[in-house]
Amino acid sequence: MKFLIALLSIGFGVPAISQEKINFALPAASPSGSITQQLGTADVTITYSRPMARGRKIFGGLVPLDSLWRTGASGCTTIEFTQPMIMAGKTLQAGKYALFTIPGEKDWTIIINTDTALHGAFGYDTKKDILRFKVPSETAGKTQEAFTMTLEDINNKGGGNLCLAWENTMVNIPMSSPADEKIMAVINQRLITSKEANAELQYQAANYYYATGRDYKQAVIWLNEAEKADPENFYYPNLRQKILGDLKDYKTGLEAAKKALSLGEKKKMNGIPALKKRIADWEIIVQNK
């Protein structure tokens, strides 16, 4: 007994109890997120927090219907444009804005507000709204655990949809760059109305029509006129052969491709092997007709 007491007195046989404080790094309940997408010639950046559903009823539950919502969590959600952007027919100037919503059973009210320093919707002032409009609500194709914002349905004319999805609900907010409208106004005024004879402008207009899927035949007319004014320019017949290929006019396309090849070899342009292959393929198609 005396021996056991002696052992205990010097610490043998008794494990030490650690008093070290432990702090676990916990994941954020609503992780922050940001997306940037180009629409037309503008960059659109959305910054927001992404709450999780965690088995809760969201719209009509956690998020009341017909009430102002911060459209996320934590600080207010922001949307920023590097150039003007059109929403609901109104042009918003380049800048940073707060995005609020009022979810409804069949549609949502979308609100663009100038106050981006708010914590959520606290201190929200309707006087700082610059745009309000409604979009329909729809059932999502899959359940979304985290609130998600994406830019979808992007087209070559600078348009797209800002998609908001959470739980089984989704809304799409149409938006577009006004760049397309401005470019088309210049083309219509200078080439269609005034019939300006400007080879470079005709080429740029034809290239824009091709890129945006407009009137290919009109584009070919402009390129023919541009080639007459500047017959040594490789880019004019090269674009013309591309458009004619899409029109499946291979016979005329061959003439344009061979002209582009001749100029391209002379000027040591890139893409010559691909152009030669296209000519060979089209010659077979024309011969078999």
Confidence (pLDDT) at 19:
67
Confidence (pLDDT) at 88:
93
Domain extents in the chain: 32-176, 180-287
Confidence (pLDDT) at 3:
45
User: Are the C-beta atoms of residues 47 and 70 closer than 8 Å to each other?
Assistant: no
Q: Provide the token pair at 242.
A: 């591309």
**Is the pLDDT confidence value at 152 over 90?**
yes
Confidence (pLDDT) at 7:
42
User: Are the C-beta atoms of residues 253 and 241 closer than 8 Å to each other?
Assistant: yes
- The percentage of the chain sitting over the pLDDT mark of 90, rounded to a whole number, equals 82
Name the packing angle between helices 235-246 and 216-229 (round to 10°).
160
| Chain mean pLDDT for the chain | 91
Q: What is the pLDDT of residues 11-66, one digit of tens each?
A: 445 455 556 777 777 777 777 889 999 998 899 999 999 999 999 999 999 999 99
Confidence (pLDDT) at 4:
43
Confidence (pLDDT) at 218:
97
> How many Å apart are CA 81 and CA 90, to the nearest integer?
14
**Is the pLDDT confidence value at 141 over 90?**
no
180-287 CATH:
1.25.40.10
Residues with Cβ within 8 Å of 68's Cβ and at least 6 positions away in sequence, in order, are 100, 101, 102, 111, 121, 124
Confidence (pLDDT) at 178:
92
- The percentage of the chain sitting over the pLDDT mark of 70, rounded to a whole number, equals 93
Whether pTM exceeds 0.85? no
